[in-house]
Structure 1
Amino acid sequence: MNPTARRKGLFLVITGAIFWGVSGTVAKKLFEQTAIDVNGLVTVRLLIAGILLLTIQFWVKDRSQIVGVWRNRWTALRLIVFGWVGMLSVQYTYLASIQHGNAAVATLLQYLAPVMIILYLMLRKQMVFTRKDLLTVILALAGCFFLLTNGSISELSVPVPAVVWGVLSGAALAFYTLYAVPLLKQYDSLVIVGWAMIIGGLGLSVIHPPWHTDFTGLTIDAYLYLAFVVIFGTMVAFWFYIESLQSLSPKETSLLGSLEPLAAVITTVFWLKEPFGFFQWLGTACIIGLILLLAWVKKPSSD
């Protein structure tokens, strides 16, 4: 492979993962400094990012897919379910966990999704449970215990709602990952994810119209935070991640994607000044180890 193309791929996936992690912390800052809530942020984030992704598809790739995905009844129905149950659930539960707790905990709990996928595939008898799978489950459980209790079983170190939303976020991500596979075999990722974001945003707009959120009184800093979450933390991060697959193997891309929770932890501690105890750092190490292990043990055929 061309070394220049490989360096480009490394830059894209590293930058995209960092943007995803940092955007969670920026969202927390936005919640603390403004009256914007989860409903308003998710609605605006999904609608704007979805339009931007379809715009990229229109100018860069096969524009006929943007309309073509709706011509098959089965595909259209599956896309609607994916937008509501997959995309909207992932975005909402993740940001709700951030609002009630912090970005580091929300991001790390979301990475329980691989364990949930393993358990689902086992129940469907689509895979055999191995010792490596057992190790991933142990790392996930140990990581969550240390992260949420800071070594003490008497009380959680983060609010209970943050834990509940975080676990639901992991379940939503597992569904999102599994349910999208048939769609991604037929259409470009930008088309599927772009439409899913718009569908999810429109669905939430029925309950919370975007014009009900007051953006007029925001400070310049708040507008910058909002722009970062929508553009860099959603549209650019996803675009960079999928573009990196053009020059890196899926194993390498997913491995470097583990920088997301690391970025969330570092920015939460050093920017938001939220304390992290020794056992929480140990829990962080366990879950990052889980992500690295899952990346390394992929089948050779997926490289």
Structure 2
Amino acid sequence: MNEGMTKMNNHIKIKADLDRGIFWSLFATIMFGTADTLLQFLSQHENVSAVWFLSTRTFFAGIILLIIGAFMYRRHFFDIFKSIQSIVYLVLYALLGICVNFLASYLSVQYGNSASMSILQYLSPLFVLLIMVIVQRRAPSLIDVIVFIMAMIGIFLVLTKGNFSKLSISTTALMWGIGAGFGQALYLICPVPLTKKHYPQILILGWGLIISSVAFNLKQPIWVNPPKINLALVLTISCVVLFGTIISFMCFLKAAKYVTSQIMSLTAAFEPITVFILSFIFFNLQVNFIEVLGAVIVLAAIITLQICHSRANN
């Protein structure tokens, strides 16, 4: 009987951990989606320039994360700078991962809208796959090809809304959106060598943000030609920094204690869903059935890719 009670208690604990992990992962994803939507308000309604905003976002987010990281990993705060190789990887992560991802995302929203950007950025697993195919010089599997075709069909439907003679967003927005997806792929790939060396993730991101902040501030310092400061601007930037960077990242770290990366990657589908819902509510986004169908096809394709590759790795 004691053995049966032990099994039952273990089952309850596993389920409770799963529920906690899914909750924190979903919460983080929704925060990312909310931040993506706020980018549209900043770029189109407050007319905030991309480089000034990113100089501000990366600087304050990096400082806050490093302060938190200093309390959590005081003895390991500067460990990442003790190896030339690690420094090189960190700089590559900052410039190719963070800078490219953040800049392309903002400009895609500025020239188009947050909904289109989020669905294009969600293609990042396909870009990761493409990079791995090129680097490893291997042929893609049949499922990779099928998923790629599905995703392209879905994106075509989203961007045309059923009117195949023209795109629903500008070519500029489309190119920056593709850049956002590619940047997101680099954002996922570049820090892998650092995480394998067991550097704390919060410090990797914190130092990466500070380095990317230096790059953006060299182009446009925070104090040079700032936009007109008002309450709406301050609150919006604060929300993007806190919810879209700090809180979302901390929630992902908390979720990682309870669930696998596979489950966390599946919950990422709620980011574009969140953006679509918020854009519909606050920006009067017009969505038709064809566009919804295309978005569903893209989500299904990426989820299928993640599940198949996760099973193959296991």
TM-score when normalising by structure 1 = 0.93
Aligned mates of 2:234, 2:301 — CA distance in 1: 36
Name which of 31, 43, 63 aligns with 2:43: 31
Q: Mean Cα displacement is larger for which, 13-22 or 153-162?
A: 153-162
- Are positions 1:152 and 2:160 aligned together? no
Residue type at the aligned position of 2:74: R
Within 5 Å, give how 1:41-190 maps onto structure 2: 41-60=53-72, 62-125=73-136, 128-186=139-197, 187-190=199-202
Q: Does 1:241 align with 2:252?
A: yes
Check the 8 A contact 1:251/1:302 in 2, yes or no: no
Query: Post-superposition shift, 1:25?
Result: 0.8
Q: Which runs of 5+ in 2 are unaligned?
A: 1-9
Query: Aligned residue for 1:279?
Result: 290
Across the aligned residues of Structure 1 and Structure 2, the Cα RMSD in angstroms comes to 1.9
2:264 is the counterpart of 1:253: yes
Identical counterparts, % of pairs: 24
Match of 1:12 in 2: 24
For the pair shown, the structure with the greater C-alpha radius of gyration is: 2
Report the equivalent of 2:212: 200
Task: Give, in angstroms, the shift of residue 301 of structure 1.
Answer: 7.8
Q: How far, CA to CA, are the matches of 1:67 and 1:141 in structure 2?
A: 43
Distance 1:182 1:237 in 2: 23
Q: Partner amino acid for 1:34?
A: E
SS of residue paired to 1:298: helix
- CA positional deviation for 1:278: 2.3
Shift of 1:216: 5.6
Q: How far has the Cα of 1:18 moved from its partner?
A: 0.4
Q: Quick one: distance in 2 between partners of 1:217 and 1:228?
A: 15
2:224 maps to 1:212:
yes
| CA contact 1:250–1:302 (8 Å) conserved in 2 | no
- Counterpart in 2 of 1:231? 242
TM-score of the superposition, structure 2-length normalised?
0.90
1:210-238, Cα deviation, whole Å (9 max, x unpaired): 112536631x3332221111110111112
Q: What amino acid does structure 1 have at the position aligned with 2:149?
A: I
Aligned to 1:299, the other structure's residue is in SS state helix
Count of residue pairs brought into register by the alignment:
301
